[in-house]
Structure 1
Amino acid sequence: MKFENSNYSKELEYKKVEFSFGTIFKTKQFILSEFNEGTHVDYHIASELISKFSDYITKDAKLGYIANRYNSYSFDPQLWKEFNSDYDIFIASAIVTYSDFSYLNASLEKQFFEKSLKRCSNLEEAIEWIMNLKEFKTEANQN
């Protein structure tokens, strides 16, 4: 299911940014990616995303990341290590997988991501998990 077809798109405020390689949604608590079929997410794409979202990538920013993989695409897992060493903004990540192959790829990426990475079978599970992270619960209680 695409994010815009979910109930969450009606409940949450978000910013939608479209690229030639896919669409990114930014909410208060997470960034969600929906890449196009056949895309290879590499350093070039990561650089374009970092450039576009540089206002959100600050030293004290804390977000979740959701990869909604309803399309088949590849991801250079080494990007996790490089991104995390340069920009430590992701508290945790969720990957929504729709096939056994996608699940296996997510399992490989899990080896490169130094924080919590959950493999989910649907978008609702991923969003609920991210939104219920203790880091966001603590933040909500302080406001």
Structure 2
Amino acid sequence: MRVEDSKYKDSYERKVVLDSGNYYFFKKFIVAENKTGIHFTWEVAKEVISLAYEHYGDDIQVTYISNRVNEYTLKAQDWLNFYKERHHLEAIAIVAYNKLGIMNVILEMVFNHIKFRKFNSLDDAINWVDSLDY
């Protein structure tokens, strides 16, 4: 379910529409809904990271929720660049609606060493984030 079709549609602080997708900034988390057919790379990620610092400030304490409502590809090893540049997330939640999405989650888990969970619904992911202490 897309953010705009959910009970959270009036809860976000900011929505940013980029060529790569829609990004919703909430108090404790960002929900990313990447567009169909894009290839999510480090270059795309840097734009989203810049927006996160702009929104939350330098001392970011936020979880990233990838709401995979569309099919797209990503370069999982680019997560290494994220950590190499000393960026930080409290946790990552992936909402996958099909088997391909689940396989991508398994691959991404290899490159992440923080709290990382897979969910079948946006609601479950947000409930998990709300339960985290940070």
TM-score (norm 1): 0.86
Please state how far the C-alpha of 1:53 moved relative to its aligned partner. Answer: 3.1
Please state how far the C-alpha of 1:79 moved relative to its aligned partner. Answer: 2.1
Counterpart Cα distance in 2 of 1:115 and 1:68? 18
Counterpart Cα distance in 2 of 1:93 and 1:53? 14
How many residue pairs align between the two structures? Answer: 133
| Aligned equivalent of 1:65 | 64
Counterpart Cα distance in 2 of 1:79 and 1:131? 27
| Aligned equivalent of 2:5 | 5
Other structure's SS at 1:9 match: coil
| Aligned equivalent of 1:31 | 30
Give the direction of change, closer, same or farther, for the CA distance of 1:18–1:104 in structure 2 (3 Å limit).
Answer: same
Counterpart Cα distance in 1 of 2:69 and 2:49? 23
Give the direction of change, closer, same or farther, for the CA distance of 1:73–1:57 in structure 2 (3 Å limit).
Answer: farther
Please state how far the C-alpha of 1:39 moved relative to its aligned partner. Answer: 0.8
Other structure's SS at 2:32 match: strand
| Aligned equivalent of 2:42 | 43
Residue segments in structure 1 that go unaligned for 5+ positions in a row: 136-143
Please state how far the C-alpha of 1:28 moved relative to its aligned partner. Answer: 1.0
TM-score (norm 2): 0.91
Which runs of structure 2 are paired with 1:1-143 in the superposition (5 Å)? Answer: 1-10=1-10, 12-55=11-54, 56=56, 58=58, 60-135=59-134
Other structure's SS at 2:15 match: strand
Counterpart Cα distance in 2 of 1:95 and 1:53? 18
Other structure's SS at 2:53 match: coil
Residue segments in structure 2 that go unaligned for 5+ positions in a row: none
